[in-house]
Chains A and B, each alone.
Chain A
Amino acid sequence: MKIEFRIKRYNPDDGGSPEPYLQAYMVDVTEGMTVLEALLKISEEQDPTLAFRKSCRSAICGSCAMTVNGTARLTCNLQVLPEVEKMGSMTIEPLHNHRPVKDLVVDMTPFWNKIEKISPYLMPSSTSGSNAVTAEAEELIDQSQRCVMCGVCNAECSSLEIDERYAAPAALAKAWRFVGDVRDGSVVKRLERLSEEHGMWDCVRCVRCTQYCPKGVSPLKQIERLRSEAMKAGILDNHGAKHVEAMAGSVEKFGRLDEAAMTFKTLGFLKSLGKIPLGIRMELHGKMPHPYIVAQIEAIEEVREIYKEAGKKAGLKEKKKE
């Protein structure tokens, strides 16, 4: 069956400042053929100048991630025919959030730098190194260990899109692989560094990383685990942790969120002043939550009962005292 592939082309060698453009190729697609196989067929039979990365072609080396029909995917385990049936077309572009080098090849250097920045290796203490990783302990880091570093999560990440310095989901999932490892002896230090600016608290929980990860790593879940461990470790002097505390406090007090107060509690008084222009714009659009009327819900006692049961708030306070 003939399928039209529309492929984003770009070659910096094309003189001046070349603009990317879409080029169409007709490919004879057979049952079961993957997008990567189709790309290989194009480069071998029609256009050897087409550049893309590939290696294992069995979804374990992580080389061949690209944007297919708008979202980042591994091309080696994505079959052409079902995809075309579902989406109606086949458009292939380089990964988002990464600088194109040539055609479908992107610059992965920032990706590797982010990985390197989290000290991605086991740092056992003098005693912890000999702890055996039991099946239960392995279970905790199992998802994060499945990562193939393809870059799909970072390409889909909403926070990375607006802040290139953000640690981003791949490195954060990798960070959990060590924080969650019973043998690691530098957990608190790791969590402190991850709690800094451009770190784990900058995730906006859009869930795209988890939605598109081809290996079931669930980066968002690992980020949440990191955040929870950091708070348990008493690393609370940062916007992220303060935000969580403010939210939990507000719900315990009123049974609902006191949205206006969240800004003060998260940023502090001085920094909140900087948000006044935003507040005015929000007010003009009728989006400003009213800071002075936060009615306590009727069944507040039931909410507090839940807090007591979960013991979360209490647990937090204890940690703080330590």
Chain B
Amino acid sequence: MLLVFHDCIVIGAGLAGMRAAIEAARSGLDVAVVTKIYPVRSHSVAAQGGINAALGKTDSWEAHMFDTVKGSDYLGDQDAIEVMCRQAPSDILELEKMGAVFSRSAEGMIAQRPFGGAGYPRTCYLADRTGHGMLHVMYEQLLKHGIFIYDEWHVLKLVVEDGEVRGVVALELDTGKLHRLHSKAVIVATGGYGRVYRTTTNALSSTGDGMGLALDAGLPLMDMEFVQFHPTVLPRTGILMTEGARGEGGFLLNSKGERFMEKYAPSVKELASRDVVSRAEQTEIEEGRGVDGCVLLDLRHLGAEKIKSRLSQIRGLAMDFAGVDPVVSPVPVKPGAHYSMGGIAVDKDGQTALPGLFAAGESACVSVHGANRLGGNSLLETIVFGRRAGASVARYCEATEAKPFPDSALKDACHSVAMVLKRSGGESIYAIRKEMNDAMEDFCGIFRNSVRLKKGYEKIRELRERYKKAALTDKSECFNNELLGYFELGQMLDISECILLGAMNREESRGSHSRTDFPKRDDEKWLRHTLVYKENGEFRLDYRNVSITKFKPQERKY
């Protein structure tokens, strides 16, 4: 039962978390990262396609900003989007300085490929392993800066006293012991919650832990009803086929062999934004023009050489997981849950409403993605806002004295772990998780309506009750995966309820949130952010205005 002090604790060691930690360490803070998996295992590693920045001579940050605002269906906060797009080029160069290697054009410049919803080829990449390349570089820098790593520690609780953060209580998976990490500031960077859905591109560990921690600390989650479904995901496993496949010129075909996107987005076709393409695919499938519940991603015309050099990872994945070599046949794909536009409400510097608590990356909502994120903007968000959160923590720590860690925090956490382990004869957490996955997929997927959403909501409410009585088979202290699964499930059920509540209330269609009973966007009523609070175990909704600076909302067409 350690009690250790660091100036700043970062929860999560993906791109945003590590970038934040590095920035804070650079300004002289004592920083530690706490992560339930080793840093290089974080799901940023699986990002394939690339990272956006207006580097081209004829490109501009304003153009990048416009594409992002339009992609967000005007729900993104334009002041934050401006910050991201303006700072993108220098953050890319900074990454290179750290050691990142981007693919190069024939002229020796950083190569850029076209991506969905972008009016210019502005996505930088390392083949189709961009996230992997970036995450490993960030890990290298983490070591270089001597940042302490509490790996395979799972945070159970944000410790708050007198309206300020005092640190966290975490479970060391190796030993089953609980420890107190005392700090002036905490940065949450735990990524997304894709695992609430049945078909998801997300890692098994993407369970939205940090969002749940923030809810429990009384903070609101913002815009949770906006869930991105990626258009090209392998059936059954949910494994991602990068948007880069279409960026490099891939086609989407229906059972009749038609490039159906010509119908839905006549000018840019396959390179429309993700919400548009996913809805088009779902419509084709539901109207009977699918192939075994999928559409086909056809890369054959790109030629073996291009596929092997630019898309080698996804070729391997298609062969290993779908038994298809994209060089010789089209790959069956369908939409799958991919990214959370919503998250912990923060400002442009990653600050939440709770002094000392910051958030960055997918677990935060700045909001730069609004109702729909553009491909290549999530990696960008992690490094721009990770850096900014780290810098703002440095300023915060400078002006703040460390205050004592309350004794009660550890006792409470010990008590809750002991209660879970003691309980016997209850339901399996895996059974509850499966029903949650089915409910979210079936009732809160791409196309939504009030009947389905209400069913989903009632189901999740029921599951939350059953969860309280769930019991574990594994009572051991060492590496108890079931115990970890128990805590993850609790957070996911809370998150599911937030998604459903936001979705039920938002009676319009905007970006990824598509209501068949309210098919139009309604700026008058709904050009605002949703906030969900958890109070005494119940959820409450609130709303907040959108920042509109440069671009007035207009109809969105691709």
Genuine A/B complex:
yes
CB pair A48–B43 under 8 Å, yes or no, is no
Q: A59 and B37: CB pair below 8 A?
A: no
- Give the chain B neighbours of A183 by CB distance below 8 A: 99
Interchain CB contact under 8 A, A55 and B41: yes
Q: Are B479 and A44 in contact (CB under 8 A)?
A: no
Does A155 sit at the interface, judged by CB under 8 A?
no
Distance A77 CA – B140 CA, assembled complex (angstroms): 26
Whether A122 contacts B482 in the complex (CB less than 8 A), given A56-B46, A59-B316, A60-B46, comes out as no
Q: Say which residue of B141, B237, B316, B476 sits within 8 Å of A49 (CB atoms).
A: B476
B105's closest neighbor in chain A, by CB? A135
Is the CB–CB distance between B141 and A121 below 8 Å?
yes
A60 touches B97 (CB 8 A): no
Inter-subunit contact A60/B45 (CB<8 Å): yes
User: How close is A9's CB to chain B, nearest CB, in angstroms?
Assistant: 12
Is A134 within 8 A of B481, CB to CB? Answer: no
Nearest first, the 6 A-B pairs at minimum CB distance are A122-B99, A121-B140, A44-B430, A49-B474, A121-B144, A48-B482
Which listed residue (A43, A58, A63, A79) contacts B41, Cβ 8 A?
A: A63
Please name the residue on chain A nearest to B139 by beta carbon. Answer: A120
- In the complex, the chain A residue whose C-beta lies closest to that of B476 is A13
Given known pairs A57-B203, A122-B98, the reply for A101 and B108 (CB within 8 Å) is no
Question: Is the Cβ of B430 less than 8 Å from the Cβ of A58?
Answer: no
Please tell me if the beta carbons of B478 and A132 are within 8 angstroms of each other in the complex. Answer: no
Flag whether A91 is at the interface (Cβ < 8 A): no
Q: Is B181 an interface residue (CB 8 A)?
A: no
Contact A132 B474 (CB under 8 A): no
Known: A48-B430, A122-B99. A12 touches B37 (CB 8 A): no
Comparing B317-325, B360-368, B442-450, the segment that makes contact with chain A is B317-325
Pair B323/A32 contact, Cβ less than 8 Å:
yes
* Chain A residues near B313 (CB-CB < 8 A): 60
Decide if B140 touches A120 in the complex (CB within 8 Å). yes
A13→B475 CA distance, assembly (Å): 10
Residue of A53, A79, A116 with most chain B CB atoms under a 10 A cut-off: A53
- Which residue among B237, B240, B479 has the maximum number of chain A CB atoms within 10 Å of its CB? B479
Which of chain A's residues has its CB closest to B110's CB?
A: A132
Q: A54-B204, A55-B43, A79-B320 are in contact. List 15 more A-B contacts (CB 8 A).
A: A11-B476, A11-B478, A32-B321, A48-B473, A52-B481, A56-B204, A59-B317, A60-B45, A61-B37, A63-B37, A103-B479, A121-B140, A133-B101, A134-B104, A141-B101
Interface residues of A in 124-149 (CB under 8 A from B): 124, 129, 132-135, 138, 141, 145-149
- Least Cβ–Cβ distance between A214 and chain B, in angstroms: 10
**Bitwise interface map of B from 460 to 504 toward A, beta carbon under 8 Å scored 1, else 0:** 000000000000111011111110000000000000000000000
Are B104 and A55 in contact, CB atoms less than 8 angstroms apart? Answer: no
Query: Chain B contacts of A63 at CB under 8 A?
Result: 37-38, 41
Pick the residue among A32, A51, A62, A145 that contacts B479 (CB under 8 A): A51
Smallest Cβ-Cβ distance to B174: which chain A residue: A101
Contacts A51-B481, A59-B320, A60-B45 given; does A135 touch B104 at CB 8 Å:
yes
A45 within 8 A of partner (CB): yes
| Cβ-defined partner of A102 (8 Å) among B45, B204, B317, B478 | B478
What B residues does A147 contact at CB under 8 A? 136
Cα separation A174 to B480 with both chains bound (whole Å): 32
How far, in whole Å, are A244 and B141 apart by their CA atoms in the complex? 35
Most chain B beta-carbon contacts within 10 A, residue among A47, A49, A62, A181: A49
Asked whether A306 is an interface residue with its Cβ less than 8 Å from the other chain, the reply is no
Q: Please, what's the 1-or-0 string for A210-229, where 1 marks a CB less than 8 Å from any CB in chain B?
A: 00000000000000000000
Query: What is the CA–CA distance of A147 and B317 in the complex, to the nearest angstrom?
Result: 16
Q: Is the CB of B321 within 8 A of A58?
A: yes
Q: How far does the Cβ of A27 sit from chain B's closest Cβ, in whole Å?
A: 15
Q: Measured between alpha carbons, how far is A11 from B480 in the docked complex, in Å?
A: 11
Question: In the assembled complex, how far is the CB of residue B444 from the closest CB belonging to chain A, in whole angstroms?
Answer: 23
CA of A209 to CA of B482 in the docked complex: distance in angstroms? 33
B133 at the interface (CB under 8 A from A): yes
Of all chain A residues, the one with the shortest Cβ separation from B482 is: A48
| Cβ of B171 under 8 Å from chain A | no
A181→B137 CA distance, assembly (Å): 13
CA distance A273 to B45 in the complex (A): 52
Shortest beta-carbon distance, B547 to chain A, in Å? Answer: 35
Within 8 A of A (CB), among B39-77: 40-43, 45-46
Query: Distance (Å) between the CB of A127 and the closest chain B CB?
Result: 14
Q: Within 8 Å CB of B323, what residues of A?
A: 32
User: How far is B476's CA from A149's CA once the two chains are assembled, in angstroms?
Assistant: 28
Contact A58 B240 (CB under 8 A): yes
How far is the CB of B484 from the nearest CB of chain A, in Å?
A: 10
Contact B132 A148 (CB under 8 A): yes
Q: Which of A50-86 contact B (CB under 8 A)?
A: 50-63, 77, 79
Contacting A at CB under 8 A, from B99-150, are 99, 101, 103-104, 108, 126, 129, 132-133, 136, 140-141, 143-144
Contacts of B203 in A (CB 8 A): 55-57, 61
Return chain A residues, CB-CB under 8 Å to B40: 61-62, 148-149
How far is the CB of A181 from the nearest CB of chain B, in Å?
Answer: 7
- Whether A101 touches B479, Cβ cut-off 8 Å, given contacts A61-B40, A122-B140, A134-B104, is yes
Q: Is B395's beta carbon under 8 Å from chain A?
A: no
